[in-house]
Amino acid sequence: RLVFASSGAIYGEQPRQPVREDAPVHPLTPYAVSKVASEQYVLAIGALWGLETVILRIFNAYGPGQPLPPSHASVIPRFLKQATSGGSLVLFGDGRQTRDYVYIDDVVTALVAAGQRAGISGSIVNVGSGDEVSVLELVEAIEGVLGESVHRLHSGDEKAGVSRLVADITLAREVLGYVPRVSICEGLRLTMARDPRFARR
């Protein structure tokens, strides 16, 4: 069986939230386009070669060890690095755009289930927390974990991405027995505790 890690980014801007797997995809970045194309490759190869395939559309995964490149870093490691080193958190747009942040341990649970569950070949399944968190709420959660306020800077110079995106995880519960266990606050605490890059200075 081939389990492919796709992305919730393929949905793009959607009028209905939470987003279900039958929503039309609307990729808005080269990354998202590559995931759409890869899904089609996986399905085609599965049909041609008789392989079992499962596609997981993983939303905003985070956790210790997540790459932190100099540019275009994911929001959670970028914010944690800035917050724990005394820097400013730069918020693009008004900060009200929402995402579904899912902790890596929950993602791994879904990946294992996708590899082991019987009778799910050909499934396309969302993997997220099912919770919609705005950027402003994320900052507040970081402040709660730190126990102090952080300095915020608002910038309109860069696009903030889609306005809303949260996963409908009904199908994941049904076919994978998937139940996310880690809240955003607990996930932030675990990330800080398990990743030395975010040690307080």
DSSP symbol at 6? E
| Selection from 6, 79, 3, 16 nearest residue 36 by Cα | 6
Please tell me which residue in 31, 62, 101, 178 is annotated as part of the active site.
31
Q: Regarding beta strands 151-155 and 88-92, do their DSSP bridges make them parallel or antiparallel, or are they unpaired?
A: parallel
DSSP symbol at 167? B
**143 class by beta-carbon count within 10 Å (0-12 exposed, 13-18 middle, 19+ buried):** middle
31 is catalytic: yes
Question: Coil, helix or strand for 43?
Answer: helix
| CA–CA separation, 169 and 178 (whole Å) | 8
Q: Which residues contact 168 (CB under 8 A, 6 or more apart)?
A: 18, 19, 20, 21, 126, 130
Question: Coil, helix or strand for 107?
Answer: helix
Strand partners, 56: 5, 125
Q: Which residues contact 22 (CB under 8 A, 6 or more apart)?
A: none
| CA–CA separation, 99 and 18 (whole Å) | 10
Q: Catalytic residue numbers? A: 31
